């Protein structure tokens, strides 16, 4: 019965999250704000730290984040990165490979050094410095990818550089995460050689499975697509997505970088347009849960304190989080793309932090390595950068579009939903 109860809880929670996140996302989209922010806000409102704790009927709590709901969210993140990979072939990735590698590497080194330096400057200690630095390294590419898809810019040169750099960034970030977590949980000594070995091994693994997928998957998809219906092809694409994710996770990498590699491989198949449309449809269910869960983890009560040093550290941490990606990613991107505006776009797209930061902060607080206030500051930084990044990225493209093009672009060519009033309101006398 307990298992059935968990399943029922998950069904009700997912039902509410998907519906509310899509509605609020639509409202935000029409108001010229990225829809993913609406989905995150829906999670914040309905989460366990807000009104979600009061939604109870006959002792049954309507919103409860359990392992099943968490699995739905993880599937959403995997599908988002798979969809991002479908917009870029392996050949396209190779063209921006050098730029992506350099930008992604600097996008890890600069934030880590600045975060560690900030914590040491404010006397938080070595372990806290390592945790802060590690929480700043990895970009949450899921949000950036969805914004690029939303504004139809996934095939722009800077978008391809952005995504490829973010993948390198994610692989390196996870390698650093592994080193830091190992140190926190087992008091293992960190050596420069050990860090280099872990990072090099992670990159080699990811490149290896990417090349393997690029050789094998297009042939499989092309062969299966010869059938009379599209269902076998869609099933093969789905299996490739989750199979690649599982393989990457089994090798110690992030599941989402495996999904991205599979998407890039399938992008060169003959039926890519049909697969893109199919993935877009099934993402409607899973993606909102991913972003709603990201918002639901934020506890506003952690920010209620009389310690002014906490607020000072938090403000500086947010500034460092933004500047470190603009310097580490934006400047080298401007050099490679020979365009300052495109460099800024790459910098904006790399600002948002996410899963890696949440994991390293969670492990650190669980092991007693950092204080509750430092944990709250890291979570707040992740939330604010997640909000700021898509706004800056979208605005950077909107500002370039003149006249009617801009209006069509901002609204996505759609009228506002019927249930939303337009302003100013007019009434008949």
Residue 145 CA to residue 83 CA, distance in Å, equals 8
| 376, 299 contact by CB (below 8 A) | yes
Residue 121 CA to residue 144 CA, distance in Å, equals 31
Helices marked H in 187-299: 192-224, 231-250, 255-266, 272-296
End-to-end CA distance of the chain: 60
pLDDT attached to residue 241: 95
pTM across the whole model: 0.71
Residue 61 CA to residue 12 CA, distance in Å, equals 9
Q: Which long-range contacts (C-beta less than 8 Å, at least 24 apart) are formed by 14-20?
A: 14/69, 14/72, 14/289, 16/46, 16/62, 16/63, 17/42, 17/43, 17/46, 17/63, 17/69, 17/288, 17/289, 17/292, 17/293, 18/285, 18/288, 18/289, 20/45, 20/46, 20/292
Residues 6+ apart with CB under 8 A from 98: 336
Residue 329 CA to residue 12 CA, distance in Å, equals 41
Residues 6+ apart with CB under 8 A from 322: 351, 385, 388
Under DSSP, the state recorded for 300 is G
Residue 407 in tokens: 């209006």
Residue 4 in tokens: 């059935």
- Give the number of C-alpha atoms closer than 13 A to the C-alpha of residue 295, restricted to the C-beta side: 27
pLDDT attached to residue 184: 67
CATH code of the region 77-401: 1.20.1530.20
Q: What is the pLDDT along the chain (429 residues), one digit of tens a residue?
A: 455 578 888 898 899 999 999 999 888 878 767 677 788 889 888 888 888 888 888 777 888 888 898 888 889 888 988 887 887 777 777 776 788 889 989 999 999 999 999 999 988 887 888 889 988 987 877 777 777 877 788 778 888 888 888 878 877 776 776 667 666 666 556 666 766 777 778 778 888 888 899 999 999 999 998 888 889 999 999 999 999 999 988 887 778 788 888 998 999 898 899 999 999 889 888 888 888 887 787 777 777 777 788 888 999 999 999 999 999 999 999 999 888 989 999 999 999 887 667 767 766 776 777 887 888 888 889 888 988 888 888 888 876 655 434 444 444 444 444 433 333 333 343
Q: Which long-range contacts (C-beta less than 8 Å, at least 24 apart) are formed by 153-157?
A: 153/397, 154/84, 154/87, 154/88, 155/87, 155/88, 157/96, 157/337, 157/342
Cis peptide before 199 (omega within 30 of 0): no
pLDDT attached to residue 29: 79
Q: Where are the domains of the chain?
A: 77-401
């Amino acid at each position: 019965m307990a298992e059935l109860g968990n399943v029922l809880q998950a069904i009700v929670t997912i039902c509410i999250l998907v519906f509310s996140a899509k509605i609020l996302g639509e409202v935000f989209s029409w108001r010229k704000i990225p829809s993913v922010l609406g989905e995150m806000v829906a999670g914040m409102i309905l989460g366990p730290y807000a009104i979600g704790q009061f939604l109870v009927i006959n002792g049954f709590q309507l919103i409860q984040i359990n392992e099943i709901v968490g699995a739905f969210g993880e599937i959403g993140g995997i599908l988002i990165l798979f969809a991002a990979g479908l917009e870029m072939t392996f050949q396209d990735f190779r063209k921006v490979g050098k730029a992506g590698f350099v930008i992604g590497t600097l996008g890890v080194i600069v934030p880590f050094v600045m975060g560690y330096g900030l914590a040491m400057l404010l006397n938080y200690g070595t372990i806290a410095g390592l945790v802060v630095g590690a929480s700043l390294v990895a970009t949450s590419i899921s949000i950036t990818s969805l914004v690029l898809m939303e504004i139809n810019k996934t095939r722009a040169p800077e978008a391809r550089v952005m995504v490829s750099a973010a993948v390198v960034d994610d692989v390196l970030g996870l390698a650093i995460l592994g080193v830091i977590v190992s140190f926190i949980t087992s008091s293992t000594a960190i050596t420069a050689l050990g860090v280099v070995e872990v990072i090099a091994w992670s990159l080699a693994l990811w490149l290896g499975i990417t090349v393997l997928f690029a050789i094998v998957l297009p042939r499989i998809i092309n062969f299966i697509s010869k059938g009379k219906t599209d269902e076998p092809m869609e099933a093969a694409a789905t299996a490739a997505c989750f199979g690649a994710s599982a393989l990457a996770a089994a090798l110690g990498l992030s599941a989402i970088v495996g999904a991205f590699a599979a998407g890039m491989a399938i992008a060169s198949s003959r039926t890519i347009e049909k697969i893109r449309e199919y993935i877009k449809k099934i993402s409607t269910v899973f993606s909102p849960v991913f972003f709603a869960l990201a918002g639901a983890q934020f506890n506003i009560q952690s920010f209620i304190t009389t310690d002014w040093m906490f607020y000072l550290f938090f403000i500086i941490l947010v500034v460092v989080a933004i500047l470190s990606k603009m310097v580490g990613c934006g400047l080298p991107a401007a050099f490679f793309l020979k365009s300052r505006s495109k460099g800024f776009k790459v910098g904006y797209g790399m600002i948002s932090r996410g899963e890696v930061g949440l994991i390293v902060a969670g492990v650190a607080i669980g092991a007693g390595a950092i204080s509750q206030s430092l944990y709250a500051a890291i979570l707040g930084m992740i939330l604010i950068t997640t909000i700021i990044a898509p706004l800056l990225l979208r605005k950077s493209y909107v500002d370039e579009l003149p006249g009617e093009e801009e209006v069509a672009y901002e609204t996505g060519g759609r009228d506002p939903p019927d249930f939303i009033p337009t302003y100013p309101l007019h009434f008949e006398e």
